[in-house]
Amino acid sequence: MKNDLSTITDRGQISIPASIRKAVKLKTGQVLQWEVLSPSEIRVSLPHQVKAGGPFAALGYALRFSAKKNLSTDKIMKELREGEKD
């Protein structure tokens, strides 16, 4: 695991190496907490989370678009695909 590397995409995304995901039993949708320790060191930890259940579990994510009711699906998808702006 010491030599596992990840590359940052142009959208600021990374993939966690499979050996690390398996070692700490990470699951899809799990939240990671990031902390900058120095200019060359970052800590990633797993905060305690209460699991949301049922069909409304994803509603929090969907609510961010509720204020944009006048946008078409195409415009919302374009916004999602743009990623972070510097």
Question: Global pTM?
Answer: 0.50
pLDDT value of residue 62: 62
Residues 9, 15: Cα–Cα separation, whole Å: 9
Question: What pLDDT digit, counting tens, does each position of 31-76 carry?
Answer: 899 999 999 999 999 987 666 666 666 666 666 666 656 777 787 7
Phi, psi torsion values for 83, nearest 5 degrees: 75, -170
pLDDT value of residue 34: 93
Residues 6+ positions from 20 with CB-CB distance below 8 Å: 1, 4, 26
